[in-house]
Amino acid sequence: MFDRIRKQRERNLRRREIEKEMRQQKRLPPGQRATLKFPVLHIGRAPQIDLELWSFKVWGAVAEPRMWSWAEFARLPRECVMLDLHCVTQWSKFDTAWEGVSLRTLVDKGWIVPRPEATHVIQIAEGGYKTNLPLSIALQENFLLATHFDGKPLPQEHGFPLRGVIGHIVGRDDLEDVYLWKGAKWLRGLKFVTEDQPGTWEVSGYHNEGDVWREERWGRRWGK
């Protein structure tokens, strides 16, 4: 009967060891704590997605709008990336493995051609969740249109079949790192815009930029 207590203590010890190690390696942003779990956070219910009806659309300030069915999307070139995730609610999860399609690659291949005046990309999810990123950040290697986590298709609650994910790549201090809310689960489309548009959380008081190292959590209301 003490098994559970012992396991819990061991886990907590490991958690604190990782946290200490990550702090030493300068991978723990201010105000964050390490977690070994993968918390699930979203507004409303996790939608059940039918892959037959699913599509991924890109429109707005692009040379031509595009649409992929699931079968087409699954054939796009794929990339793997290891990310440290930082949630604004103060948990950080280190060394998470993602696989999917890089927006950068879609642009490099000429399959998406942003118009010169495009400045931001809005991720739009099933159910209406939205989040905004400067185009320059959406084109970084630490932003992925992810279909797989840890070698397996995304679990439903983490965004099956596709989500935006953004995190820190070890050794890439040249990239901007933003909080995890800037990756939309159940992603259905990207709208390129010529003027910034705050998303779901950004209008409700989260910081518009959300830089994890500057601890931009709340406060800067849209337009101020």
Ligand X SMILES: Nc1nc2c(c(=O)[nH]1)N[C@H]1C(S)=C(S)[C@@H](COP(=O)(O)O)O[C@H]1N2
The nearest distance, CB 36 to Mo ion, in angstroms, is 18
Q: Which is nearer to ligand X, 39 or 65 (CB)?
A: 39
The nearest distance, CB 181 to Mo ion, in angstroms, is 4
Show the tokens assigned to 119: 């400045």
Q: Which is nearer to ligand X, 73 or 129 (CB)?
A: 129
Q: Which is nearer to ligand X, 113 or 203 (CB)?
A: 203
Residues that bind ligand X (CB under 6 A): 39-43, 87, 125, 129, 158, 180-181, 183-186, 201
Residues that bind Mo ion (CB under 5 A): 41, 88, 181
3-state secondary structure the chain: CCHHHHHHHHHHHHHHHHHHHHHHCCCCCCCCEECCCCCCCCCCCCCCCCCCCCEEEEEECECCCEEEEHHHHCCCCCEEEEEEEECCCCEEEEEEEEEEECHHHHHHCCCCCECCCCCEEEEEECCCCEEEEEHHHHCCCCEEEEEEECCEECCHHHCCCCEEEECECCCCCCCCCECHHHCCCCEEEEEEECCCCCCHHHHCCECCCCECCCCCCECCCCCC
Strand partners, 62: 114
Q: Which is nearer to ligand X, 76 or 184 (CB)?
A: 184
The nearest distance, CB 159 to ligand X, in angstroms, is 6
Q: Which is nearer to ligand X, 87 or 193 (CB)?
A: 87
- Beta-carbon count within 10 A of 82 CB: 14
The nearest distance, CB 202 to ligand X, in angstroms, is 11
The nearest distance, CB 155 to ligand X, in angstroms, is 9
| Residue 184, contacted partner among Mo ion, ligand X, none, CB below 5-8 A by kind | ligand X
| Residue 39, contacted partner among Mo ion, ligand X, none, CB below 5-8 A by kind | ligand X
